């Protein structure tokens, strides 16, 4: 990770943590306990990109240089604006928009991940190697998307959140959108990489 992105990520996380602490205080004062708990969850989630980066660096796993920054922005869009500020309910497309970003960006993460663990053998053609890495990255994205849908279901079941708004239809739509975004990103990467 380059120093510029690391510095931006640190500035952004400090700003978001301050925003969430202020929102938590306002939530407690106004008796909005659900928002207070969502703020606490978001504060915890904002540490995840740094933990993942630390582990990746220790294990010599390659991540995109903007991983922390993009992940922080995504958490802010999903948790703070989506859940706390209720954009999921104000804009019908907000959830789909985030799933498109998720599907596309996790393919990119999967492609970077393969760089650190898979080496091209001289006997394998560039086309076959590229196809394999794209299939891996696509599968990686779909797996993470499926795990996210399971997280939403468990959150709704155990903590009575409202992450799954339309039941099966919401989950199926989310998965379809993620698969399409991941597929389009994978196809673009495949053909761009072959031209290099």
CB 115 within 8 A of CB 192: no
| CA angle (188, 127, 99) in 5-degree steps | 30
Are 120 and 57 in a shared domain? no
**Where is the domain boundary, 45, 64, 85?**
85
Q: What is the pLDDT of residue 96?
A: 94
Q: How far apart are CA 63 and CA 70, in angstroms?
A: 12
Cβ proximity of 142 and 184 under 8 Å:
no
- Give the list of residues 6+ apart from residue 26 with CB closer than 8 angstroms, or none: 32
Do the beta carbons of residue 182 and residue 106 sit within 8 Å?
A: yes
Residues 182 and 131 in one domain: yes
Q: For the segment 97-136, what is each residue's pLDDT rounded down to a tens digit? A: 999 999 999 999 999 989 878 877 888 888 999 999 999 9
Question: Which token pair is 161?
Answer: 């959140």
Q: pLDDT tens-digit profile of 24-40?
A: 999 999 999 989 998 99
From 29, 57, 85, give the residue that closes a domain. Answer: 85
Instruction: Look at residue 5 in the predicted model and tell me its pLDDT.
Output: 77
Name every residue whose Cβ is closer than 8 Å to that of residue 37 and which is 6 or more positions away in sequence.
none
pLDDT value at position 64?
94
Residue 71 and residue 47 share a domain: yes
> What residues contact residue 184 under an 8 Å CB cut-off, 6+ apart?
104
Within the chain, residue ranges assigned H as helices are 3-29, 33-45, 48-58, 67-75, 87-90, 94-117, 126-159, 168-195
pLDDT in tens, 50-97: 999 999 999 888 899 999 999 999 999 999 999 899 998 899 999 999
One domain for residues 94 and 16: no
Residue 44 above 80 pLDDT? yes
Are 118 and 48 members of one domain? Answer: no
Of 25, 53, 85, the domain-final residue: 85
How many residues are present in the chain? 196
Coil, strand or helix at 125: coil
Q: What integer is the mean pLDDT of 6-26? A: 95
Instruction: At 185, list the tokens.
Output: 């990103």
Name the domain count of the chain: 2
Q: Are residues 194 and 105 in the same domain?
A: yes
Q: Which residues contact 52 (CB under 8 A, 6 or more apart)?
A: 63, 67, 71
Distance CA 172, CA 132 (A): 27
Interval 148-190: pLDDT, tens: 899 888 877 876 767 777 778 888 999 999 999 999 999 999 9
Q: Which domain holds residue 35?
A: 1-85
Using the predicted structure, report yes or no on whether residue 1 has a pLDDT greater than 70: no
User: Do 129 and 156 have their domain in common?
Assistant: yes
Q: How confident is the model at residue 195 (pLDDT cuts 50, 70, 90)?
A: confident
Of 128, 142, 134, which Cα lies nearest the Cα of 111? 134
| Residues 33 and 94 both lie in one domain | no
On whether both 71 and 17 belong to a single domain, the answer is yes
122 & 51 share domain: no
80 token code pair: 């703070």
121 and 46 part of one domain? no
Q: Are residues 107 and 184 in the same domain?
A: yes
């Amino acid at each position: 990770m380059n120093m510029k992105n690391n510095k931006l990520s640190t500035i952004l996380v400090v700003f978001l943590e301050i925003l969430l602490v202020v929102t938590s205080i306002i939530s407690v004062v106004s008796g909005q306990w659900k928002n207070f708990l969502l703020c606490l969850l978001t504060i915890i989630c904002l540490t995840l990109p740094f933990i993942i980066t630390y582990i990746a660096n220790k294990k010599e796993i390659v991540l995109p240089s903007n991983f922390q920054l993009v992940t922080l922005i995504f958490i802010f869009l999903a948790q703070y604006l989506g859940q706390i500020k209720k954009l999921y309910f104000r804009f019908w497309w907000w959830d789909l928009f985030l799933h498109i970003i998720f599907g596309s960006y996790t393919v990119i993460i999967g492609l970077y991940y393969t760089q650190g663990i898979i080496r091209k053998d001289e006997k394998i053609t560039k086309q076959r190697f590229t196809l394999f890495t794209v299939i891996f990255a696509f599968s990686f994205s779909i797996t993470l998307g499926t795990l996210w849908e399971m997280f939403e279901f468990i959150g709704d079941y155990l903590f009575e959140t409202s992450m799954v708004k339309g039941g099966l239809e919401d989950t199926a739509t989310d998965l379809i959108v993620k698969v399409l975004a991941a597929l389009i990103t994978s196809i673009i990467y495949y053909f761009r990489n072959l031209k290099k």
